[in-house]
Amino acid sequence: MSIAVFALILALLGTAGAQTAPGVFVPGFWDPKRRPDKPEPGRIATIRFLTEEDYPPFNFKGPDGQPIGFNVDLARAICLELGLQCTVQVRRFDTLIEALDEGRGDAIVASLAINPETRKRVDFTDRYYRSPARFVAGKDAALKDATPEAIAGMKVAVVERSAHEAYLRAFFAEAAIQPRAHLQTALAALKRGEVDLVFGDGIALAFWLNGRDSAGCCAFRGGPFIESRYFGEGVGIAVKKGNDTLRRALNYALFRLWEKGAYTDLYLRYFPVSFY
């Protein structure tokens, strides 16, 4: 899906996304029994968020040229919750951590994955989303749940040499695994009836299901599958090493947005077909 097409979809959805997706599961990453401490007034004057604009729907350039997306709107909601002035600066993804280290910004909100390598360079807030793996099948398929026993012998297309292929071979070895060069190739095979299932990134599959290309052919089956060894620990907001004051303030704001339902509203706006 192109950035322009996605921007048009968002314009059509507007703020009514939450009302147009009844029954959508919205993940929660916060424990109501572990409320973060409210930050002391005056400890933070402003927050300069760093992002990039080539990863829709999380961060991309809007029709007016300004950055928008799930991450950007979340950052702005955080600023409202904390009552702070904020800016959002756009940089190339591969320069974000360097810019943070050099003091050109205070926090990175750009779907930066939490993993051992990034943990060495930055500190992270609590996780606020993660991308699970999912199976997709034709809507008329009799399969109810994608367990190793249920899909034994079924043809499953997956992107070759990906973490998803490795996961299938480790836990669904009895399936007839059919690697494809690209996800779109795998999905085209599913639409033609050449395979029974596609296994891949839940976010990408959710947008395909909700888009024109799928033509309403298919639906999720089973999952989500969220094993960190294969699919990562998730995504958090990154701050400079040792900046605990800002990290704790961001954690408080994230918790409050979830507690008040603002996180759910934002999630449903951008993900009317949940990837969970």
Residues 67 and 160 in one domain: no
What pLDDT score does 1 carry? 40
Residues 254 and 194 in one domain: no
What pLDDT score does 9 carry? 38
What pLDDT score does 23 carry? 60
Residues 52 and 101 in one domain: yes
In a domain, 47, yes or no: yes
pLDDT tens digit sequence for 153-192: 999 999 999 999 999 999 999 999 999 999 999 999 999 9
Spatial separation of the C-alpha atoms in residues 61 and 194, rounded to whole Å: 37
Query: Which CATH number goes with the domain that contains 40?
Result: 3.40.190.10
The three-state DSSP-derived secondary structure of 160-209 is CCCHHHHHHHHHCCCCEEEEECCHHHHHHHHHCCCCCEEEEEHHHHHHHH
In a domain, 276, yes or no: no
Spatial separation of the C-alpha atoms in residues 1 and 103, rounded to whole Å: 35
Give the C-alpha distances (Å, rounded to integers) separating 55 from 71, 99, 144, 157, 163. 10, 19, 32, 25, 20
What pLDDT score does 88 carry? 96
Residue ranges in the chain whose pLDDT is less than 70: 1-23
Q: Which residues 6+ apart lie within 8 Å of 136 measured at CB?
A: 187, 190, 197, 198, 199, 200, 205, 208, 209, 218, 219, 220, 221
- Residue type for 178, please? Q
Closest CA to 136 of 65, 66, 208: 208
Spatial separation of the C-alpha atoms in residues 159 and 176, rounded to whole Å: 14
Residues 70 and 40 in one domain: yes
What pLDDT score does 25 carry? 79
Residues 126 and 86 in one domain: yes
Closest CA to 58 of 109, 118, 122, 1: 109
Q: Which residues 6+ apart lie within 8 Å of 233 measured at CB?
A: 113, 114, 115, 127, 130
What pLDDT score does 21 carry? 45
Residues 82 and 71 in one domain: yes
Residues 121 and 180 in one domain: no
- β-bridge partners, 220: 136
- The count of structural domains within the chain is 2
DSSP 35: P
In a domain, 275, yes or no: no
Q: Which domain holds residue 44?
A: 3-130+233-270
For the whole model, what pTM was predicted?
0.80
pLDDT tens digit sequence for 103-137: 999 999 999 999 999 999 999 999 999 999 999 99
